[in-house]
Amino acid sequence: MSEVKVQVGDTIPQGSFTYIPYSPELENHSACGIPVKLSTDEWKGKKVVLVAVPGAFTPTCHANHVPPFLEKYEEFKQKGVDVIAIVAANDAFVLSGWARFLGLKDKVIAISDPDARWSAQLGLSQDLSARDFGTRTKRYALVIDDLKVKYVGVESAAGVTVSGADAILAAL
């Protein structure tokens, strides 16, 4: 709940996320998978599109924000993107279920930023306690290249503009 701190040219802070890697065993929904850690150190030497949403299965995130990243996956790859990651404060199991529902498979990973702790370091968390959501990420997108921020898009109002797939593709 502070002002945006991250700027183009910054090195991202070291951090750790939790996620459940896609595997075909998850397809029949009888398995939940096992959460694993993902360190930002794994993004060294990679171009990463990181897209933050306030919550899995919430209307704007579910219907408008995330699906275009899957639909335009090949366009991102053609622009040299190695990783597309959706981040939210939800737990890894919720994000895995959401990723399966959306059909993200191994193209787009859904990673958990518990209590939006990593996002808070960037000034990109928000208190949604009035909606009974607690602390969540703001709606934002970063393009990270070899751990350096190349693009910052933070939504200042409801909806998806500067953090959407088209805006990021245009910036790449």
Which tokens go with 41? 């150190």
32 catalytic? Reply is: no
Catalytic residue among 61, 70, 81, 141: 61
Catalytic center residues: 61
